[in-house]
Structure 1
Amino acid sequence: MNHRIVRIHPKDNVLVALQDLEAGELYSIEGVEGILQAPVSAKHKFSMEDLHQGDLIYMYGGIVGKAVVDIPSGHPLTTSNVTHEAESFGGKTEDYHWEAPDVSKFQNRTFQGFHRSDGQVGTGNYWLVIPLVFCENRNVDTIKEAFLEELGFAKPNPYKQLVKEMALHYQAGDQAAIANLSVSTFTERKDLKLFPQVDGIKFLNHQGGCGGVRQDSEALCTLLAGYINNPNTAGATVLSLGCQNAQASILEQKLKEMNPDFQKPLIMLEQQKEGTEQQLLTHAIKETFLGLAEVNKLRRQPAALSKLTVGLECGGSDGFSGISANPSVGYAADLIVALGGKAILSEFPELCGVEQELINRCVTHESAEKFSALMKSYAAAAEAVGSGFDMNPSPGNIKDGLITDAMKSSGAAKKGGTSPVTDVLDYGEIVRKPGLNLLCTPGNDVESTTAMAGSGANVILFTTGLGTPTGNPITPVIKVSSNHRLVERMPDIIDVNTGYVISGEKSIQQMGEEILEQVIAVASGEMTKAQKLGQDDFIPWKRGVSL
């Protein structure tokens, strides 16, 4: 790779700046030479040939935009001279042949996981406490307050000590001393967990379960059933008010449909039957404590890498994400698929423009038709409320070089690697088939990661160029940076740095293998940065328009 500019695909008519470039600089790549007409910031694109109004812009070998004015060679692409344009798509037009990567070095590798009676293997061992309706959120919070501190699961909070010290200085009349306080000077608590084989007790508060339409409550029950069924979950306590739309019977039916062999401990309590709040909470806390004691008997044991189900996510993307982080994660996904594991590519608004490629990668015509139908339905729903996929890029995306949705999507799709698509899933459906699965979710980071965990992901790979702390309550989220600067600026949230691809020090294949090594370590119990921060993000999707 040229260390200053790159042409991603031979069909592309734009180049990407890998470093800040000045006006008047000469550029030369693949026999094409020119002079920059204006400064181009790193991560941004510029035309490598004269483009006329109406000409199509190509990146990654596909259409990512259209010129709205003439753009001279060597001129930057911006939101003022380029608009969104994407490839059209239809049915499956060709068979797909996949060259699987060499997996010999990983062939006999294992991870240390928790084996469930139904054959699933968890990368963690969590107990869930779930409200079926928002009316129970306060009761869930009360259980949380009672358990975490006393059982040693509470995350150290140096900021509490900071506030305490500030209050003491204020009371002593020494406000000037407050400016010199730092959380790094406080000693963290080292509580010993009463149940050391339990990785955590997680509390999934939400604002659903009643009101709205019945489909919302049914979708919520499906999602919660997926979380209980997830291999990382050891058992669960579910609190119901009793009169809400999201009935306990619906949750039980969804669980039965997902997993007829479900055998995990499951405590279901209804407040309107239990009586007083005190009676409900006392019953819930006692039963949950006994459940924790039972699942604490489980131990990590070796498991084949084929037991991995890896979610593929991107958020806070930048102009390097589709060049370094996403293709590196895609190579890791290909390795996992070649080893017999499962991978999940979601965020349907961020697959705009690459639909035909994914349709052709579908193993069956049924899957291809299902994907096409879901994409068209989603796009139509967005347009019906005056929006559209073209409005997906955030201000941060645009500022860092992703100026159209198709440009963003073409890079985002690289997380899915190159393997065939073995199944297409609607929101809430669980992954059953080995290989690459497409899951219908919004592009919103947390709505998407929430859905992938509900569909069975036991690890999530999350790429970012701008930085985001996103995590998940039960599924470890490995954060992958697209560039060196992010790692230097926010080292507390990044687990893997693929900036070495941009600087030319490592190949995508090398980074992909390093990412798989990190997956194995995390699947065996090593904590991610998001877990260390206690970042437990959970947002159910109500199937309204969310990009």
Structure 2
Amino acid sequence: MERFLRIAPADNVAVALTDLEEQETIFAGGREIRLADHIPVKHKFTLVSLEKGDILYMYGVPVGKLGISLPEGSMITTGNTSHVAAPYNIHDKEYEYTPPPVGAFEQRTFMGYHRRDGQVGTANYWLFIPLVFCQNRNLRVLQEALETELGFRPENPYRLLVRELAGACGKDNGNEVKAAVVGTRLFEHVDGIKFLLHEGGCGGTRQDTQLLVNLLSGYIKNPNVAGATVLSLGCQHAQADMLKEALGKEGRGPGKPLYFFEQQQYGSEALMLKEVIRTTFEGLQQADTCRRAPAPLGALTIGLECGGSDGFSGISANPLIGKVADRINALGGKSILAEFPELCGVEQDLIDRCTERSTAEKFVRLMKNYEHRALGVGSGFDMNPSPGNIRDGLITDAIKSAGAATKGGRSPVSDVLDYGEYAVRRGLNLLCTPGNDVESTTGLAGAGANITLFSTGLGTPTGNPVCPVIKISSNSALPQRMKDIIDFDAGRLFSAGMSQEALADELMELIIAVAGGERQTCAGRLGQDDFIPWKRGISL
């Protein structure tokens, strides 16, 4: 196994693939380097002597600026390095790209749900959507009733433990202790009923209201959704007509059952909820008639996400995801790269890959507006890395971004989307989201992703209500330590010496199995239905 990695020929910084000892001699670029410091695994060190103010390079791009002079073999830390990112501009430059060979996958299919608008789902969910937070309680009441009686409520493995502890405290009421049993589903071809509770819809800026409405319309249009029930109070900013208008932006309705209920039009809450249940039953019966049928892999829309990243994420899991994304795009599918704060420093490469100048201009506008808003509240992209990121070697946002961007592969950028916009162009799409895991994955599903590839090095349970999330570990220690949240081990690139091509083939097979309903993701088994819409403005 190699002990360190120099990612690009022009890099003056390398990453340790294992612990390196102080005064140890390594060979890089045909010469000996004596390490000035102990370099923990995943951390970065200098390959040459550098002066104060010198720029550090990784992935062939600037990732930091030295605050002090360092001899070769020195560890890069937050104490000696600050964030710096390359400038960028728009210029006419033709991007040369050869799609990867897809081999036998060109003829492969997955078993999906074919929708009237031509999209294909990897799941078949019914949605309950509140247009405003005032309806959250009503949705909780409906959730308890529907999930319990229709067999969708998952078993809670902790009920028995709580009952036993209560008995030990002398609080047992004498009832027989039984474990919860999952009921038989009445609608066996409906994968679940999902409730998108949120805290928006009123009291904030009109811009945030429109953003929320656009996002909710994307969830209804998502091919993994069979239909939806929408609850409204009546006086809030997020009006039903706004949602209907957003659903029609592409010149078509959702092509699926959609029911609206406004509480202020009913004499009592009970009257409305009873009508909601009766009407929704009709929709569920219709959704239950859907059956899986073969679909080409080009019908997939892959969300590209990372969270709980470590020093290996950008050299194992993320490049692997990028390789698979390029394959899906070559097969005629879509991929969506999110998290704009984690594209800081690689903007020029993405601009150069845009197929149209207007697309590049939109990307620049969204990036600059986002950074301006961050600076306006006393923050900035340089503050993106979390304490966990930093402990594992991602000490500047540019280092983190250069590795995170590899999830997008090398495909041309066919479109740029703002949060709440829906992906319609095949190929690589860029979606403006925060780096926050849940706000970002929430946006990916709202943009039409019917499956998401999510890399992690430190571990995170994040999932999504309607979009299966495949969790990919950057190192082989994580799936041993947190077996219940990891679906795929990309760390075998180092631990087992596997090639990226072999790992990509294996990951493609997992995607096909999950998309066809043959495999459930770890997040799905855990019931990780994380849903947090991004709020940009303030409350009024």
What band does the TM-score fall into relative to the shorter chain? over 0.9
TM-superposed CA distance for 1:25, in Å, is 1.2
Q: 1:308 aligns with which of 300, 312, 334?
A: 300
Q: Are the counterparts in 1 of residues 205 and 537 from structure 2 also a CA contact under 8 Å?
A: no
Question: Counterpart in 2 of 1:176?
Answer: none
Counterpart AA for 2:37: A
- The reply to whether residue 204 of structure 1 matches residue 196 of structure 2 is yes
Q: Are the counterparts in 2 of residues 419 and 436 from structure 1 also a CA contact under 8 Å?
A: yes
TM-score between both structures, scaled by the size of structure 2:
0.97
Aligned-partner Cα distance in 2 for 1:387–1:488? 36
Counting only pairs closer than 5 Å after superposition, residues 1-16 of structure 1 correspond to structure 2 as: 3-16=2-15
Aligned-partner Cα distance in 1 for 2:67–2:331? 46
Give the secondary structure class of the aligned counterpart of 2:169.
Answer: helix
Question: Counterpart in 2 of 1:116?
Answer: 115
TM-superposed CA distance for 1:94, in Å, is 2.1
Q: Are the counterparts in 2 of residues 323 and 411 from structure 1 also a CA contact under 8 Å?
A: yes
Q: 1:142 to 1:188 in 2, by over 3 A?
A: closer
- The reply to whether residue 422 of structure 1 matches residue 414 of structure 2 is yes
Question: Counterpart in 2 of 1:461?
Answer: 453
Q: Are the counterparts in 2 of residues 92 and 356 from structure 1 also a CA contact under 8 Å?
A: no
Aligned-partner Cα distance in 1 for 2:91–2:533? 32
RMSD of aligned alpha carbons: 1.4
Give the secondary structure class of the aligned counterpart of 2:107.
Answer: coil
Provide, for residues 413-454 of structure 1, a one-character-per-residue CA deviation record: whole Å limited to 9, x for no partner: 000001100111111110011000001111111111100100
Provide, for residues 313-338 of structure 1, a one-character-per-residue CA deviation record: whole Å limited to 9, x for no partner: 00000000000000000000000000
Give the secondary structure class of the aligned counterpart of 1:390.
Answer: helix
Q: 1:335 to 1:187 in 2, by over 3 A?
A: farther
Aligned-partner Cα distance in 2 for 1:261–1:390? 42
Question: Counterpart in 2 of 1:36?
Answer: 35
TM-superposed CA distance for 1:261, in Å, is 4.2
Give the secondary structure class of the aligned counterpart of 1:326.
Answer: helix
Aligned-partner Cα distance in 1 for 2:91–2:510? 36
Q: 2:531 aligns with which of 508, 527, 538?
A: 538
TM-superposed CA distance for 1:191, in Å, is 2.5
- The reply to whether residue 374 of structure 1 matches residue 361 of structure 2 is no
Question: Counterpart in 1 of 2:85?
Answer: 86
- The reply to whether residue 514 of structure 1 matches residue 506 of structure 2 is yes
TM-superposed CA distance for 1:172, in Å, is 7.8
Provide, for residues 459-493 of structure 1, a one-character-per-residue CA deviation record: whole Å limited to 9, x for no partner: 00000000000000000000000001111110100
Q: Are the counterparts in 2 of residues 101 and 334 from structure 1 also a CA contact under 8 Å?
A: yes
Q: Are the counterparts in 1 of residues 150 and 186 from structure 2 also a CA contact under 8 Å?
A: yes
Aligned-partner Cα distance in 2 for 1:427–1:172? 50
Counting only pairs closer than 5 Å after superposition, residues 190-269 of structure 1 correspond to structure 2 as: 190-258=182-250, 260-269=252-261
Aligned-partner Cα distance in 2 for 1:18–1:44? 8
Q: Are the counterparts in 1 of residues 208 and 537 from structure 2 also a CA contact under 8 Å?
A: no
Question: Counterpart in 1 of 2:137?
Answer: 138
Question: Counterpart in 2 of 1:448?
Answer: 440
TM-superposed CA distance for 1:383, in Å, is 1.2
Provide, for residues 278-327 of structure 1, a one-character-per-residue CA deviation record: whole Å limited to 9, x for no partner: 00110111111221111101100000111000000000000000000000
Aligned-partner Cα distance in 1 for 2:247–2:133? 21
Q: Are the counterparts in 2 of residues 89 and 356 from structure 1 also a CA contact under 8 Å?
A: yes
Question: Counterpart in 2 of 1:388?
Answer: 380
- The reply to whether residue 288 of structure 1 matches residue 280 of structure 2 is yes
Question: Counterpart in 2 of 1:73?
Answer: 72
Give the secondary structure class of the aligned counterpart of 1:155.
Answer: coil
Give the secondary structure class of the aligned counterpart of 2:461.
Answer: coil
Aligned-partner Cα distance in 2 for 1:505–1:257? 49
Give the secondary structure class of the aligned counterpart of 1:484.
Answer: coil
| Percent identical residues | 57
Aligned-partner Cα distance in 1 for 2:537–2:459? 27
Question: Counterpart in 1 of 2:62?
Answer: 63
Counterpart AA for 2:167: L
Q: 2:265 aligns with which of 273, 283, 289?
A: 273
Q: Are the counterparts in 2 of residues 26 and 36 from structure 1 also a CA contact under 8 Å?
A: yes
Please, which moves more after superposition, 430-439 or 372-381? Answer: 372-381
Question: Counterpart in 1 of 2:522?
Answer: 529
- The reply to whether residue 505 of structure 1 matches residue 497 of structure 2 is yes
Counterpart AA for 1:284: V
Counterpart AA for 2:157: P
Question: Counterpart in 2 of 1:342?
Answer: 334
Give the secondary structure class of the aligned counterpart of 1:34.
Answer: strand
TM-superposed CA distance for 1:274, in Å, is 1.9
Give the secondary structure class of the aligned counterpart of 1:387.
Answer: coil
Give the secondary structure class of the aligned counterpart of 2:129.
Answer: strand
Please, which moves more after superposition, 128-137 or 97-106? Answer: 97-106
| Structure 1 residue ranges without an equivalent (≥5) | 174-184
Please, which moves more after superposition, 61-70 or 25-34? Answer: 25-34
Provide, for residues 129-153 of structure 1, a one-character-per-residue CA deviation record: whole Å limited to 9, x for no partner: 0111000000000000001111111
Q: Are the counterparts in 2 of residues 330 and 512 from structure 1 also a CA contact under 8 Å?
A: no
Aligned-partner Cα distance in 2 for 1:32–1:217? 59
Counterpart AA for 1:113: G
- The reply to whether residue 490 of structure 1 matches residue 489 of structure 2 is no
Counterpart AA for 1:407: I
Q: Are the counterparts in 1 of residues 450 and 467 from structure 2 also a CA contact under 8 Å?
A: yes
Please, which moves more after superposition, 514-523 or 195-204? Answer: 514-523
Question: Counterpart in 1 of 2:21?
Answer: 22
Please, which moves more after superposition, 161-170 or 192-201? Answer: 161-170
Count of aligned pairs: 533
Counterpart AA for 1:214: R
Provide, for residues 251-274 of structure 1, a one-character-per-residue CA deviation record: whole Å limited to 9, x for no partner: 111111145142200110000002
Question: Counterpart in 1 of 2:312?
Answer: 320
Aligned-partner Cα distance in 2 for 1:97–1:55? 32
Counterpart AA for 2:522: K
Question: Counterpart in 2 of 1:179?
Answer: none
